[in-house]
Chains A and B, each alone.
Chain A
Amino acid sequence: AQSVSQHNHHVILSEAASLELGCNYSYGGTVNLFWYVQYPGQHLQLLLKYFSGDPLVKGIKGFEAEFIKSKFSFNLRKPSVQWSDTAEYFCAVNARTGNQFYFGTGTSLTVIP
């Protein structure tokens, strides 16, 4: 079975600080990788995705993530966070030949103005 680990449960940053959220997964085959964001009171929205090709993917709102296959990692980054980035961030993976999406436990990000 696949699993996803998010190492940071709660992160507090000041505006303009840089962000990096860790995500590791366990699965030996080909995977699709995702970061979802959940703003307060809203539904899960896709932030970015990796299917194949360039391991550095860019998403919405200035976020990017890098797939490092040898480390089974897909860390999320943003060079300068804003107050509006306050949200819950979830890393997810599904096997290319599989069905369900596996989610990490999430990281709560609070950005202080």
Chain B
Amino acid sequence: DTGVSQNPRHKITKRGQNVTFRCDPISEHNRLYWYRQTLGQGPEFLTYFQNEAQLEKSRLLSDRFSAERPKGSFSTLETQRTEQGDSAMYLCASSLEGGATEAFFGQGTRLTVV
């Protein structure tokens, strides 16, 4: 499968714990996005990388969240001191660079904070 891959698929954690998710984009895509989706809502933008540079961050991405893409390939999204409100589906997408391009999504990581 050469699509966008996310791990783990599901994560249940206790409030206050730290969690890290991984995204492997389509190999030739230099743009990588993180989105969050809650029930009944569309995906909400969190952050965006072009190669290894994090170029944009949403206000939704509080100080407890950090994303990295150290070598311009895979990316990690870490949440520190998780709260129940962090429970959501975290989606990763990738795309080629350019004005006319589409995003390809992974299957997401469902985080449940108990």
Residues on A lying within 8 angstroms of B by beta carbon are: 4, 6, 32, 34, 36, 42-46, 49, 51-52, 90, 92, 96-97, 99-106
Output the residue of A42, A46, A52, A100 with the most chain B CB within 10 A. Answer: A100
Distance in Å: Cβ of B2 to nearest Cβ of chain A: 14
Q: How large is the interface on B (under 10, 10 to 19, 20 to 34, 35 or more residues)?
A: 20 to 34
Which residues of chain A have C-beta atoms less than 8 A from B62's C-beta?
none
Top 8 A-B pairs ranked by shortest CB distance? A103-B42, A51-B100, A44-B105, A43-B107, A100-B45, A96-B99, A103-B43, A105-B42
Q: Return 25 A-B CB contacts under 8 Å, by A number.
A: A4-B42, A6-B42, A32-B100, A34-B102, A43-B91, A43-B105, A43-B107, A43-B108, A44-B91, A45-B105, A46-B104, A49-B102, A51-B100, A92-B42, A99-B50, A100-B33, A101-B33, A101-B43, A102-B45, A103-B44, A104-B42, A105-B40, A105-B41, A106-B41, A106-B42
For chains A and B in complex, what number of residue pairs have CB atoms within 8 angstroms? 57
Distance in Å: Cβ of A19 to nearest Cβ of chain B: 19
Known: A44-B43, A44-B91, A105-B41. A100 touches B102 (CB 8 A): no
Bound CA–CA A51/B35 (angstroms) = 22
Residues on B lying within 8 angstroms of A by beta carbon are: 31, 33, 35, 40-45, 48, 50, 55-56, 91, 93, 99-108
Please pick, from A45, A46, A90, A100, the residue contacting B42 in the complex, using a CB distance under 8 A. Answer: A90
